[in-house]
Amino acid sequence: MIMGSFTLHPGVLWVNEVTAPVVAQQIDRTILSNIHIHHTPLSKKEMLIEARDSGQRSRGCFTREHVDYLRAAEESGSTVVLQYRGISYNTVVKAGAVQLTPKKEIESVDDADLYTGTVTFQEI
């Protein structure tokens, strides 16, 4: 996965790729109490990207550069291009959706600036 100009760790996953809703439904009742269901296709996806620290081994991580980039994009509302499996998505970072914490297990000095958690993007 590529975020802007950064190639993310291979263990960073789009966790709601197949579970994100693709349609919105609204249920109405007619005067005779018959049910009428309206389907509206959703063209824009919410993308939950996750790097998890499983306790013994981490599955993916973000670096300090990634965190700084994400916080700046969240603050400015600028577009972030995510490339996943050859498809580019124009997104914005949802407000308050950068939920990253320092990696719990530091195995070397280089690990001190690694973060795990979730980031939520909204396709635009």
pLDDT tens-place string over residues 50-83? 998 765 555 788 999 999 999 999 999 999 999 9
Q: Domain of 18? A: 2-123
The CA distance from 124 to 115, in Å, is: 26
Distances (CA, A) of 11 to 22, 50, 94, 124: 25, 9, 22, 25
Whether 49 shows a pLDDT value over 70: the answer reads yes
Whether 43 shows a pLDDT value over 80: the answer reads no
3-class DSSP state for residue 108? Answer: coil
Winning range, highest mean pLDDT, from 40-49, 77-86, 100-109, 110-119: 77-86
What is the value of pTM for the model shown? 0.75
pLDDT of residue 3: 94
If one counts the domains in the chain, the total is 1
The secondary structure element, H or E, covering residue 72 is helix 64-76
3-class DSSP state for residue 9? Answer: coil
- The better pLDDT of the pair 116, 21 is held by 116
